[in-house]
Amino acid sequence: MDTTQLDFGGKVVMLKPSFVLPSGDEGMTLATNTHNAVIVGVARALLGKGARRVLVAEHLTVLNARFSFAMVHVKEAVEGIDGVELCYLDEVPMVKAPIEEPFIPGYDIKFPRMLLDGTVDYLVTLPKMKTNSFSSVSLSIKNSFGLISKRDRLKYHGADLDKHLASLHLVRSPDLVIVDAVVAGEGQGPQQTTPVATGLLVAGTNCVAVDAVCCHLMGHDPATVPHVKLLHDRGLGPISLDDIPLQGKDLLESRRRAFTRPDLTLALSPRIRVFQGKDTCRGGCLAMLRSILDGYGMVNGWDSLGDMAIIIGKGVDVPERGLDGLKKRKTIVFGDCAKEYKDRGVFIGGCPPEYLRTATALALRARLGVTQAERTASVGAVLWTSLRHAFHEIFKV
Ligand code: SF4
């Protein structure tokens, strides 16, 4: 890793961890979120290198960013370390991102102004290494998704998700990547991963190369991960281990194993009827619905969902008597592509539907109840952080 260009003396550094699962249950977040110990260790190291300010930053994940920060107790973790500040990206000015030759014509998103106007000297990304139902893997390139608003994340979150991720990388790529793979996650990422202890941090200054090395560690061919391949083909980094100057190759090989990939099947029990269009977007409706259903089925067993039907995706066709015998509330009509069936069940619109709206509709209208992750959310934290966030939005303090 060539760090000769990185001089942190007197500089402002933004750390971007992943708080994808804003839960207070550390057992549940071990293989999903960047561990606080990694954030603290990196912050201390940067201050030791002379950094003037270290900002720990994340945009909203499920609710507002203040809620995520409160649930993962990062404030307590960095308490008393002079020079470390929390930065709620849903409360900072966002500006239209300048971008040349995006992978999506007319690509239009907003980016934190502080990352473009010289306020932040260095962006250090701290992803958790995990598999991801939407994008195959979640590494440094995917971690930049947490720099932009939920609205902009959802804008191209269907068939174009990988092009979205690759385009975002063109706006401002991180200067340094430190991947938390100490306990990584396999299977139903990003939120229902199974822990895999590799005991490693993987670091480098080129996101494409670091993500390729992590893919190798997880037994994935990086050339099969579209957003990594797109950036490689654009000449932004190597993906062959032969082309990546790598320290600790023997250690990497010794910890390598084939991570279980996400399963996107919706017919999870014989009691679930699935009507799915053949072109349903993996990075949109399919992964969104499956990842929320995982919150029920992987904890309580798939039978707990009972008799139900799912109508989803482009070109879906439901036979005349396909829903016979089912109550309307037991039929989930998911995504704008299935809109023509909206009167036949609980319709959750959007392209793709938004996470919180889906979770609420499944909990209340389909009466599936709350998931284990939702149960860990403190009502006090929801109310207090929502109030603080609203206060900031109104008075900008
Ligand atoms: S609504 Fe249709 S186009 Fe949009 S994400 Fe879902 S399947 Fe894809």
Which residue has a Cα nearest atom 2 of ligand 1? 337
Is the bond preceding residue 98 a cis peptide, omega within 30 degrees? Answer: no
Taking 70 as the threshold, does the pLDDT of residue 1 lie above it?
A: no
Write down the residue that tokens 């439901």 correspond to: 318
Q: CA 353 from chain center: how many Å?
A: 16
What's the burial of 374, exposed, middle or buried (CB within 10 Å: 0-12/13-18/19+)? middle
Residue 336, ligand 1, Cβ within 6 A: yes
For residue 4, is pLDDT > 80? no
pLDDT of residue 382: 87
d(CA 304, CA 10): 56
Residue 278 above 70 pLDDT?
Answer: yes
What is the per-residue pLDDT across 304-328, written as a single tens digit (0 to 9) for each?
999 999 999 989 999 999 999 999 9
Residue 142: pLDDT band by 50, 70, 90 thresholds? very high
Residue of 257, 49, 227, 255 whose CA lies nearest to 138: 227
Residue with tokens 């203040």: 66
pLDDT reported for residue 83:
98
Which residues 6+ apart lie within 8 Å of 383 measured at CB?
none
Residue 84, CA distances (Å) to 143, 201, 266, 340 in order: 21, 22, 44, 51
In this prediction, residue 157 carries a pLDDT of: 86
Residue 374 pLDDT more than 90? no
Give Cα 252 to chain centroid, integer Å: 25
Residue 124's DSSP bridge partners are: 15, 176
Predicted pLDDT at 222? 98
CA of 159 to the centre of ligand 1 (A): 7
Q: Quote the CA–CA distance of 174 and 134 in Å, as a whole number.
A: 22
Q: Quote the tokens at residue 228.
A: 């990594």
Q: Is the CB of 283 under 6 A from ligand 1?
A: no
Any idea which of 66-80, 211-225, 272-286, 364-378 has the lowest mean pLDDT? 364-378
Q: In angstroms, what is the span from residue 238 Cα to ligand 1's centroid? A: 32
**What residue type is 336 in one-letter code?**
D
Per-residue pLDDT, 58: 97
Any atom of ligand 1 within 6 Å of the Cβ of 354:
no
CA of 377 relative to ligand 1 center, distance in Å: 29
Q: With 70 as the cut, is the pLDDT of residue 2 above it?
A: no
Taking residues 286-298, report their average pLDDT: 94
Closest listed residue to residue 146, CA positions, set 131, 161, 168:
168
**Contact 280 CB / ligand 1 (< 6 Å):** yes
pLDDT of amino acid 86: 98
Nearest CA to 381 among 112, 22, 90?
A: 22
190 CB near ligand 1 (under 6 Å):
no
Mean pLDDT of the chain: 95
Candidate from 280, 310, 333, 340 with most ligand 1 atoms within 8 A of CB, to mutate? 280
Is residue 264 within 8 A of residue 282, CB to CB? The reply is: yes
Read off the pLDDT band of 237 (50, 70, 90).
very high
50 CA to centre of ligand 1 in angstroms = 48
Residue with the larger pLDDT of the pair 160 and 373: 160
Give the end-to-end CA distance of the chain in Å, rounded to a whole number: 40
Structure tokens of 138? 């979640």
What is the pLDDT, as a whole number, of residue 118?
A: 97
| Cα of 359 from ligand 1 centre, angstroms | 17
- The three-state (H, E, C) secondary structure of the chain, written as one string: CCCCCCCCCCCEEEEEECCCCCCCCHHHHCCCCCCHHHHHHHHHHHHHCCCCEEEEEECCCCCCHHHHHHHHCHHHHHCCCCCEEEEEHHHCCEEECCCCCCCCCCCCCEEEHHHCCCCCCEEEEECEEEEECCCEEECHHHHHHHHCCHHHHHHCCCCCHHHHHHHHHHHCCCCEEEEEEEEEEEEECCCEEEEEEEEEEEEECCHHHHHHHHHHHCCCCHHHCHHHHHHHHCCCCCCCHHHCCCCCHHHHHHHCCCCCCCCCCCCCCCCEEEEECCCCCHHHHHHHHHHHHHHHHHHHCHHHHCCEEEEECCCCCCCCCCCCCCCHHHEEEECHHHHHHHHHCEEECCCCCCHHHHHHHHHHHCCCCCCHHHHCCCHHHHHHHHHHHHHHHHHCC
**Model pLDDT for residues 200-220, shown as the tens digit of each residue:** 999 999 999 999 999 999 999
The reported pTM is 0.95
**Which one-letter amino acid corresponds to residue 248?**
G
Residue type, 302: W
- Tell which atom from ligand 1 comes closest to the C-alpha of 277: 7
Per-residue pLDDT averaged across 89-107, rounded?
A: 96
Res 145: pLDDT: 97
pLDDT, one tens digit per residue, over 46-56 is 999 999 999 99
Is 195 exposed, middle or buried (CB count within 10 Å of its CB: 0-12, 13-18, 19+)?
Answer: middle
pLDDT digits (tens, 9 = 90+) for 167-193: 999 999 999 999 999 999 999 999 999
- Topology at the third CATH level for domain 12-255: Rossmann fold (3.40.50)
If one counts every other C-beta atom within 10 angstroms of the C-beta of residue 164, the result is 27
Mean pLDDT of 223-249: 98
